Chain A
Amino acid sequence: MVDLLLLVLLVIFALYAVYETDLLSSVVILSAFSLIMTIVWTRLNAVDVAFTEASVGAGVSTIIFLSALSRTKRREEITRNGKKLNIYNFLASLIVIFTGSVLIYGTFDMPDFGDFDAPVNNAIAPRYIYGSMAELGIKNFVTSILAAYRGYDTLGETTVIFTAGVAVVILLRRRDL
């Protein structure tokens, strides 16, 4: 019940942030979205993700959005073009609906959430849980997966995030805009 209400709140905030043409209001509502998201992560017992969401989602990214807004205009320009129902839009939505239903059909074969017989719970998770201490000597197996078992993946992620950070700094520090 609590989760349902939280998710409804999330959907309302997300739809509002998309449809609002006043970008400052959108940023404010996105901040509220992050606040609710933190509660959802905490209810899923993912405390570390909740920490990240609270500091990055509600704190830093709001400020980055605001500093980007201070370089541009506050209002979104409304184009009448997108509202018309021409043949291209119709075909595009047909393709999107078709792809979406194929993807949903693909999920029918997946095991249930938290299924005891699912392969991920039989082969992969015990390997990490029991092997972490013996192979690496790291007690927290979330850390051992992130830093050792999929270390190259984390390295690539860090590179992407560093590149994005450098790009944001370069864009926001330009004085001639």
Chain B
Amino acid sequence: MFEIAILFLIFSSFLVLYRAIRGPTIFDRVLVINFIGTKAVIILALIGFAYGRPHFLDIALLYALINFVATIAFLKYRTTGKLG
């Protein structure tokens, strides 16, 4: 059952691939990595339960914490042109 849920989530990641490749602006691609990051958090939690090792939830939490760091860096680079 967890495997099927993971399959559906990966399939939904394929749907946003069009925006990642064709997406006219950089913001489409930033949205795509946000989407994939959120899906990855859920997939990691699901893998943990599918393998019977619920402490994989720790990685999912770390992931959720790290996810937005890159987004903030992108947006800062886009608005100010530098990071410093």
Binding site for B on A (CB under 8 A): 1-2, 5-6, 9, 12-13, 16, 22, 24-25, 27-29, 31-32, 35-36, 38-39, 42-43, 45, 47, 50-51, 54-55, 58-59, 62-63, 66-67, 69-70
Contacts and interface: CB of A to CB of B under 8 A. Distances in A.
A22 B81 CA distance: 15
A36 B40 contact: yes
Contacts of B82: 67, 70
Contacts of A24: 26, 74, 77-78
B84 A67 contact: yes
A31 B33 CA distance: 7
Nearest to B41: A35
Interface in B31-52: 32-33, 36-37, 40, 43-44, 47, 51
A89 to B, nearest CB: 27
Contacts of B3: 1-2
B29 A63 contact: no
A37 to B, nearest CB: 10
Contacts of B13: 9, 36
A43 B32 CA distance: 22
A32 to B, nearest CB: 5
Contacts of B1: none
B70 A39 contact: no
A28 B13 CA distance: 15
A16 B20 contact: yes
A34 to B, nearest CB: 9
5 contacts: A9-B17, A12-B17, A28-B30, A35-B33, A70-B83
Interface in B12-26: 13-14, 17, 20-21, 26
B17 A39 contact: no
